[in-house]
Amino acid sequence: MSVRVSLVAAARTSPPLAERFDDDRPLDHAGWREIQLVAHTLVPLGAAELRYCSPAPRSRATGDALGFAPLLQPALRDCDMGRWRGLTLGEVAAREPAAMSAWIADPRSAPHGGEPLTAFISRIGGWLDTRPVQDGFVVAVAEPAVVRAALVYALGAPPSAYWHVDVRPLSVTTIAGLPGRWHLSVEALPG
């Protein structure tokens, strides 16, 4: 018995350089357009027995636009960025360069006063490990950071590997296995 979990990265809310930490803005025009362009390849994921999304408006909107009717999962929320919430990476680097460097260098640090990267990865891993394993299929729509954390956890990679994973909006990452014993499953989407 195993479970297959397909993680769909939510559509974007702004151009990449304008992305903000803990961004709870709605999808922008480009995000909606991107959903329209790829929906035909992602709609089959709606056949999953269980469909979830993070609490972020962009994740909910992405899941709804794809016809998933996802259930909200608070554990799938993005990393708590404390006082950096709402700021861009560039803004944080300009205001707190030493804190930014410490945060990237040490995954246990939380100079922003929020959640350390290690705790974020563990939280997402805990969510994965509590999925039903009756040979099921689960789909979850979440921010790209959540997908990165899930991948690092599933592969048993060190937390520093988080910085070496690129997850683009509306990409699909599938992992399969059992709690604590996950593997990456590379699949072709119909289309």
Residue by residue, pLDDT tens for the chain (191 residues) are 789 999 999 998 776 656 777 777 788 888 899 999 999 999 889 999 999 999 999 999 999 999 999 999 999 999 999 999 989 889 999 999 999 999 999 999 999 999 999 999 999 999 999 987 677 899 999 999 999 999 999 999 999 999 999 999 999 999 999 888 999 987 665 55
State how many domains the chain has: 1
C-alpha 191: how far from chain center? 23
Question: Is 89 within the bounds of a domain?
Answer: no
Give the CATH number of the domain where residue 152 resides. 3.40.50.1240
First to last CA, the chain: 29
Question: Measured between alpha carbons, how far is 179 from 162 in angstroms, rounded to an integer?
Answer: 20
What is the rounded distance in angstroms from the CA atom of residue 146 to the CA atom of residue 134? Answer: 24
124 within a domain of the structure (yes/no) = yes
Any domain includes 68: yes
Q: What is the DSSP letter of 11?
A: P
Assigned domain for 125 exists: yes
The whole domain housing 173 covers: 3-79+115-185
Residue 151 lies in a domain: yes
User: pTM of this prediction?
Assistant: 0.93
For residue 188, what pLDDT is reported? 63
pLDDT score for 38? 92
Domain for residue 148, yes or no? yes
